Structure 1
Amino acid sequence: MSNELIHNFLLGFIKLHILYHAQKEPIFGQEFKKELKRHGYDISFGTLYPIFHKLENKGYLKSKQENVNGKIRKYYSITKKGERLGDKWKMYTDNPDKLVLFDKF
């Protein structure tokens, strides 16, 4: 399996994972990076934030900035379009947290 295929598969999983959590509550980058690490994925902010931006630009997420202890934090929440995509995903699995991925092929 090529590295590009694996990379694209993992990015797709991360996008679905973002939508899943954004459907439950607003999320922000640093906390979500910890969530991914909890599942064994140590990605950089340079990878994570462009994913958030692409999902927002495509209308799956919306963002709201809040001042938290003098720092601006951008929270992302799901849109109706994102919910529809999430519902399609749920047709394949009841809980994306249970999806098992192997990091070595």
Structure 2
Amino acid sequence: MISELKRHGYNISPGTLYPLLHKMEKENLLAKRIEIVEGKKRIYYSITSQGENLLKKLRGKVKELFHEII
């Protein structure tokens, strides 16, 4: 996830990203799934319906702000 964000120009450290993911999970915006892959613990996050609803709301606010700036 960090390398994908970096590819888009965001330089985020694990110390910044993981607390955000944990907070979003606590707020029921993300769901966590743990799998063991080749003996290593892998954590996968997916968006919840509550997270989808917030994302739609925030996208609308960002679009509104963008149009006001432009």
User: Shorter-normalised TM-score: what interval?
Assistant: 0.7 to 0.9
- Percent identity between the two aligned chains: 52
CA displacement at 1:86 relative to structure 2: 1.0
The one-letter amino acid of 2:5's match is L
| Structure 2 portions without partners, runs of 5+ | 64-70
Q: Does the residue aligned with 1:42 lie in a helix, a strand or coil?
A: coil
> TM-score normalized by structure 1?
0.55
- What is the distance in 1 between the residues matched to 2:24 and 2:54? 11
1:3-82 to structure 2, matched below 5 A, reads 32-82=1-51
Structure 1 stretches of 4+ with a deviation exceeding 2 A read none
Q: CA RMSD in A?
A: 1.6
CA displacement at 1:90 relative to structure 2: 2.8
**Structure 1 residue 86 and structure 2 residue 55: aligned?**
yes
Q: Which has the higher contact order (CA 8 A, sep 6+)?
A: 1
> TM-score normalized by structure 2?
0.80
Structure (1/2) with the larger strand percentage: 2
CA displacement at 1:89 relative to structure 2: 2.3
Q: Bigger radius of gyration, 1 or 2?
A: 2
**Number of residue pairs the alignment of both structures matches:** 63
